[in-house]
């Protein structure tokens, strides 16, 4: 359940573990105004300002991942299309200051890692970005999201960061806005009561927790 303590973003760190980097400071900030958007749970809502997911202990590994992405010439492929590797996800996460485990979980929920995925609504690629959204983020030819995994993951991360600037540190809210659109989150003042979105947020958050708990044993995309 999305409103359960296991999925709520809490200041005490007992729920999702990784939070946006300024979360600890914001937990001590004055209470939000009554108009602040929130999930229907006891979880506090942090200030709506552009902040970032922390990656404690990952710096050395992420720096190595960036070097690996730049140096490698051999890339895995599915049906002739290059796919996103753990190193790429880690490098994009480092660039946008987003936990790579969150990016990996969202990619899994969006496309199951299929670089050529196209939804029935027209969303494209690994991160299932709509063409209009991609153009608004500076992608001149959105069809390239189907053939360029670096562009696909980067575009998804850029959109996630844009939503984070609007909804702040509440990870389930940001994830819900990625799926249902920010307007729906505003209307519902929390995670929209759409079956698809409720299921999507649950899958992403559970995958995120699982990846973080297994981080010591392997790559980010497991």
Q: What whole-number distance in Å separates Cα of residue 185 and Cα of residue 163?
A: 11
Q: Which CATH number fits domain 23-217: 3.10.580.10, 3.30.70.360, 1.10.530.10, 1.10.3720.10?
A: 1.10.530.10
Whole-number pLDDT of residue 81:
56
The residue among 3 and 75 whose pLDDT is bigger is 75
What confidence tens digit (pLDDT) does each residue in 18-28 have? 444 333 333 34
22, 49, 110, 196: the active-site residue: 110
Residue (of 146, 149, 158) closest to 116 by Cα position: 146
Lowest mean pLDDT among 59-68, 136-145, 152-161: 59-68
Whole-number pLDDT of residue 177:
97
User: Residues in the chain, how many?
Assistant: 222
The secondary element (H helix, E strand) that includes residue 25 is helix 23-27
For the record, the structure tokens of 51 come out as: 């902040």
Q: What whole-number distance in Å separates Cα of residue 39 and Cα of residue 59?
A: 31
What average pLDDT does the segment 92-112 reach?
94
Whole-number pLDDT of residue 6:
39
Domain boundaries, the chain: 23-217
What average pLDDT does the segment 25-45 reach?
38
Is residue 49 part of the annotated active site? The answer reads no
């Amino acid at each position: 359940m999305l409103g359960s303590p296991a999925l709520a973003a809490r200041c005490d760190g007992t729920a999702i573990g990784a939070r946006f980097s300024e979360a600890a400071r914001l937990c001590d900030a004055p209470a939000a105004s009554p108009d602040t958007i929130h999930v229907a749970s006891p979880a506090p809502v942090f200030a709506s300002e552009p902040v970032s997911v922390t990656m404690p202990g990952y710096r050395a590994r992420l720096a190595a991942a960036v070097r690996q992405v730049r140096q490698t010439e051999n890339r895995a492929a599915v049906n002739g299309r290059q796919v996103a590797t753990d190193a790429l996800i880690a490098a994009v996460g480092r660039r946008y200051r987003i936990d790579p485990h969150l990016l990996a979980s969202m990619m899994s929920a969006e496309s199951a890692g299929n670089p050529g995925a196209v939804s029935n609504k027209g969303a494209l690629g690994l991160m299932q970005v709509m063409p209009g959204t991609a153009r608004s983020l500076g992608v001149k030819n959105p069809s390239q999201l189907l053939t360029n995994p670096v562009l696909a993951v980067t575009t998804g991360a850029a959109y996630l960061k844009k939503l984070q600037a609007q909804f702040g540190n509440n990870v389930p809210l940001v994830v819900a806005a990625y799926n249902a659109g920010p307007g729906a989150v505003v209307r519902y003042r929390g995670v929209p009561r759409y079956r698809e979105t409720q299921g999507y947020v649950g899958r992403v958050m559970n995958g995120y927790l699982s990846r973080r708990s297994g981080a010591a044993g392997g790559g980010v995309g497991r």
